[in-house]
Structure 1
Amino acid sequence: MLILFRLLSRCPLWLLHHIGAALGWLAFGLSPAYRHRFRENAAQAGLDWAQARPAVASAGRMAAELPWLWMRPHDRLLGSWVRVEGGEHIRAAHAQGRGLIFLTPHLGCFEVTAQAYAEHFSALCGPLTALYRPPRKAVLRDLVDTARHRPGLKTAPATLAGVRQMIRALKAGEAVGLLPDQVPPEGLGVWAPFFGRPAYTMTLASRLAHQTGAQVLLAWGERLARGAGYVVRFSPLEEALPVEAESAAACINRAMERLILQCPGQYLWGYHRYKGPRTLPADGAQP
């Protein structure tokens, strides 16, 4: 797997995106369950097929661009491949001595948002710590660990120890990153509307914000056409984040909806967003 990723990482981004688009349509055609969930989720958001259709290829592009992003040498910066918008919100929070919580949905290239922050802002604001769930397979776990440990980036496992790591980072005025439209384990979320349908939604983001006084910013990376790169956008949360868990989750879901509807053709509509939470083991060490 590592050898394959290294070989693919040498391909130009436009070629990887062409390959990914084909793979996206192949997966869509071969899996009735995936196809049904994709259509159902898009319809739930009020989209017709013409609006949702580009997301089929986009899902494949997301997978195909990972070698290019992950295996790039640490000294080879994104540079002209990424344009950043909204960086003033990051600098303003840093000037106030506040930590930052970035909320990024499964929209566009969410891997590039963390790398863009690391390259543009970590020298000023410190590293970004991203919460992630390590893959179960050892070969993938080693690959992800190698790929995501880059200058200006740290990772925190989805465990109590990982949450403590994020709290320390925020209290030190650093940044953390979360995917708030990811279904958390049982007991670590609440049911809140997402495009008008109850979805089990994490409470971690609001807990971190209220516990540390960190500022919440939205972030997403738009994938440009023909492999031209990305635009990474940072923007503030439009509403004050409520203290009550259900209200805070609903507030965050509304923010995710607004981002997604800016570019519905790059959202992972095939993600099982409305599934029930998985049960933690008896000695579960999850946050």
Structure 2
Amino acid sequence: MFPLWLLHGLGAAMGWLAFLASPIYRGRFRANAALAGYRFGEVRGAVAHAGRMVAELPRLWLGAPLPYRIEGGACVEAAYAQGRGILYLTPHLGCFEFSAQAAAQRWSAEHGPITVLYRPARQPWLAKVMETARNRPGMLAVPTNLSGVRQMIKALRRGEAVGLLPDQVPPHGQGQWSPFFGKDAYTMTLAVRLAHQTGAAVVLARCERLSWGRGYVVHFEPLPAAPLAQDADAALLQINQAMEHLIRQSPDQYLWGYGRYKEPRVEAAAPAGGAA
């Protein structure tokens, strides 16, 4: 398996190639960043980080544990001490795949596995690889269907943890329109439903890549202005604002090219909510 510094170097080149080759991607990147108040020069580092995200996946899924440190873990400890399940929320920021791995390595032995959602690939062989790779020690990957959601609810009620990407656009009928950086974005309602139904503590997670492949810093913090509002619309806005808060801490590692404001796709699948 290639070292992380090499994968990140190759990924940075891949990110810039993709950016230069696609006018649509460039336009969406610039437009999304501008909505948040950033000039391209302030977030140009995110172009390389998008490529690093892709290049590091095989290492994250199949390789040995990577170096990291945790900051802000006291809020996680406090939630477990209260006997509550934990709902980790992280946007498409930094190495969001590793956020759950780090939390699992730190707390799953004592408090049970972290359950995360994933969207199965269309190709059966790739779907099997993704399922196997994401079931790392202390982690349980469940598909984005009704069965997966039920497993997440059960895990939270047992006092375990689950992870979601609440800035992922859900299918039609599984979200609501809510402001995100000042523009309405179709936003999943699953996070709000899970928190309201189980009383889980909402914890924000942000995994920052260190330079030169030195590993990661995983930041945890409580939801600002906690607790989560009981009104569903207000709670949804509260979560979007929390994601903005995280993104503004590392804007050069956010996936500005992600189609956050796209129309939701129409599908017949049961309610789900994204992957983490």
Q: TM-score range by the shorter chain?
A: over 0.9
The match for 2:65 among 62, 72, 77 is: 77
Equivalent in the alignment of 1:247: 234
| Structure 1: unaligned runs, 5 residues or longer | 1-9
The match for 1:45 among 22, 36, 39 is: 36
Matched residue type, 2:249: Q
Aligned counterparts of 1:147 and 1:77: Cα–Cα separation in 2: 13
Equivalent in the alignment of 1:205: 191
Deviations 1:180-226 (A, max 9, x none): 00001111111110000000011111111111111000001100011
Let me know the Cα RMSD of the aligned residues.
1.0
Aligned counterparts of 2:42 and 2:125: Cα–Cα separation in 1: 37
8 A contact 2:61–2:136 mirrored in 1? no
8 A contact 1:127–1:154 mirrored in 2? yes
Equivalent in the alignment of 1:122: 108
The match for 1:21 among 12, 35, 42 is: 12
The match for 1:193 among 176, 179, 189 is: 179
Paired residue secondary structure (2:263):
coil
Deviations 1:266-285 (A, max 9, x none): 0000000001111122xx32
Deviations 1:64-107 (A, max 9, x none): 011111111xxx433xx100111111111111110000001000
Equivalent in the alignment of 1:5: none
Matches within 5 A, 1:94-133: 94-133=80-119
| TM-score normalised per structure 2 | 0.96
Aligned counterparts of 2:170 and 2:230: Cα–Cα separation in 1: 19
Equivalent in the alignment of 1:271: 258
Deviations 1:46-77 (A, max 9, x none): 001111100000000000011111111xxx43
Task: Tell me whether 1:87 sits opposite 2:73 in the alignment.
Answer: yes
Paired residue secondary structure (2:163):
strand
Aligned counterparts of 1:87 and 1:137: Cα–Cα separation in 2: 38
Equivalent in the alignment of 1:236: 222
Structure 1 residue 242: Cα displacement: 1.4
8 A contact 2:79–2:201 mirrored in 1? yes
Task: Tell me whether 1:223 sits opposite 2:214 in the alignment.
Answer: no
The match for 2:52 among 30, 44, 61 is: 61
Paired residue secondary structure (2:212):
helix
Matched residue type, 2:191: A
8 A contact 1:190–1:245 mirrored in 2? no
8 A contact 1:217–1:237 mirrored in 2? yes
Aligned counterparts of 1:126 and 1:86: Cα–Cα separation in 2: 20
| Structure 2: unaligned runs, 5 residues or longer | none
Equivalent in the alignment of 1:4: none
221-230 vs 136-145, which deviates more? 136-145
Aligned counterparts of 1:137 and 1:196: Cα–Cα separation in 2: 37
8 A contact 2:178–2:187 mirrored in 1? yes
Equivalent in the alignment of 1:7: none
8 A contact 1:77–1:119 mirrored in 2? no
Aligned counterparts of 2:61 and 2:154: Cα–Cα separation in 1: 26
Greater relative contact order, per chain length (Cα 8 Å cut-off, separation 6+): 2
Deviations 1:232-257 (A, max 9, x none): 01100012311222211110000000
Overall identity of the aligned pairs, in %: 61
Structure 1 residue 159: Cα displacement: 0.9
